[in-house]
Each structure stands twice: as C-alpha cells, then as structure tokens.
Amino acid sequence: MRLLAPSILLTFLFLLTACGEGAALHVADTDKTVEAYQAFLAEYPDSSHSAEVQGKIEGLRYDAAKDSRNPEVLRDFLTHHPDHEAAGRLAKREDEVAWQVASAAKTAEGYKSYIDFHPEGTQLEAAQAEYALYAYAGELTIADIAIAKVNMAQDPEGPLNGWGITANVTNPGDKRLKRVTMAIDSLGASGDVVSTDTWYTVVQDLGPMPVPPPLQTILEPGETKGFRFTTAEAPEGWAEGSFALRAVSVRFAPPAPAPASDE
C-alpha cells in the first residue's frame, strides 16, 4: 500500500476539515437562528468565519429587538451587545415596556422584577411603592375558609341560588390597612383557574356604590376580620363549589393618632 506524502496528507486533512466547516456553516445559514450560529461557533471556535457569524448573530438579535415590546428580548440584546449604536434607544424602550408589563401584572413578583433589572429605572420609586403593597398583601393570613350554597337575597326561606365564601383574614404586620383586596378564583376540575372575582375585607370607597358599614373599618396590625363574598355566576369549566381565596393587594392607612395627653 502506497502512503501519501506528508504534505499531501496535510492538504487532504485541511480540505476535509474545511468541507466539514463549510457544511456546518451552510446548515447554520439555512437555519438562520442565533442558536444555529452559536452551535457553529462552538464547533469551530477558530473559524475564519467567526467575525462574520458573530455579525449575523448580532443582526438577528437586533431584528428581534428593534420593534419588540417584550422586555426579555430587549434585555437579551442589550446584554450581548451593549455597545451597539441602538443600545441607548433600546434601553429606554426596555425600561418603558418592563414597567408596562409590571403595571399590567399587578403582582409583587412583577414589580420586584422591574426593581431588580432597573436599579436606576425611570419608574423605580413607583415600583418600590407598589411592591411594598403587594408584598404586604402576600403576608396576610387567611383561615377558616367555608364554602356553602346560599340565598342571594339573604332570605332564610328562599332558594339556595348562589354560593357564599367566608374566611377570617389576619393582618400580621405593623401597618394599618384601609383596603384589602381579595381574589376569589373559581376552579376547574383539575384545579385550574377558570375565572377570578375580587372583593374586599375592608375598603373605604367604592365610587358610586355604597360601602357596607362592616367594610368601612381599618384592619389594624394583629387584627382579624371576617371576609364574605357571594356569587350566582357559574363560569364555563367551573367545578361547582370549587373556589380558592387569596389577598392580592392592600392600601396603607395613616398611622393611628397618638393618644391625647392628660396634661
């Protein structure tokens, strides 16, 4: 068997490697995704096409981010390409849409996410204030939940044409609460939420609606108040009588006035 000369063997190996690299680049170019180009660079980190491929990755990320209203997409671009000529404009957009997402979600987690990603954000103070309220709501304790069929007109002789949910809500913190908003989730057979209503443990103002006297009080630190909600609605997919109850937001009341001096 005749052996190839060393120079010919090296040339052959070079061509074989180049063909493999070329085929891999063709696959990435056909796929045209960030993941495909990253896979190419992982396999051929010293490729002569590295700069070209990096440019394609940047272009794909920019195309995804330039008109995006998704803060995660915008953050991905800014994280990988902080020196891009559009970085300043997209950073402003990311701050704006991140606040919109947090405001729409109205959860402690949503506001905390904005705070964590925007230590100098335009809405940092507002996010911190809202986070304090929603996080405090998550600390309220709900006990003695009872669910029963009721008469919607509160007629003891009338038909049981609705459902009533009662519970005891306790304020374990050190803030006085003038509003405690509860979410009443109607659940499907698998425990999924099919609809959500809201009502109050305490509330001072309901706009044009009169506020029942039991709701007009303040929930003081350490105090427990009863919660009651009734409904005659049966949302689609609801497993009859299946509800879950949670506190979703609060509003703080001013500190209690200091006791009058005897002097």
pLDDT for 262 equals 59
More confident residue, 134 or 1: 134
Q: Is the pLDDT of residue 5 over 80?
A: no
Is the predicted pLDDT of residue 1 greater than 90, yes or no? no
**What domain count does the chain have?**
2
Examine the fold and report which residue of 133, 156, 173 is the final residue of a domain before the chain moves on: 133
Contact 239, 187 (CB under 8 A): yes
The strand pairing partners of 182, in sequence order, are 199, 247
Task: Tell me which residue range forms the domain holding 242.
Answer: 140-252
pLDDT, one tens digit per residue, over 95-148 is 999 999 999 999 999 999 999 999 999 999 999 999 999 999 999 999 999 999
Residue 263 included in any domain? no
Same domain, 119 and 154: no
CA distance 177 to 252: 5
CA 224 – CA 232 distance, rounded (Å): 27
pLDDT of the residue at 19: 58
> 197: Cβ–Cβ under 8 A, 6 or more apart, which residues?
183, 184, 186, 229, 231, 233
Closest CA to 86 of 98, 100, 74: 74
In a domain, residue 32? The reply is yes
- Based on the fold, state whether residues 122 and 158 are members of the same structural domain: no
Q: Are residues 185 and 235 in the same domain?
A: yes
Give SS3 for 216: coil
Please give the full DSSP string across 107-120, using - where no structure is assigned.
SHHHHHHHHHH-TT
Angle among Cα 222, 223, 225 to the nearest 5 degrees reads 150
Question: Which one has a higher pLDDT value, 23 or 159?
Answer: 159
Q: What is the mean pLDDT of residues 67-90?
A: 94
pLDDT at 9 over 80: no
Q: Look at 125 and 19; give whichever has higher pLDDT.
A: 125
Within a domain: residue 241?
yes
* Residue 166: its H or E element: strand 162-170
pLDDT, residue 261, reads 64
What is the domain-level CATH number for residue 168?
Answer: 2.60.40
Q: Say yes or no: 99 and 159 in one domain.
A: no
Mean pLDDT, residues 58-87 taken together: 93
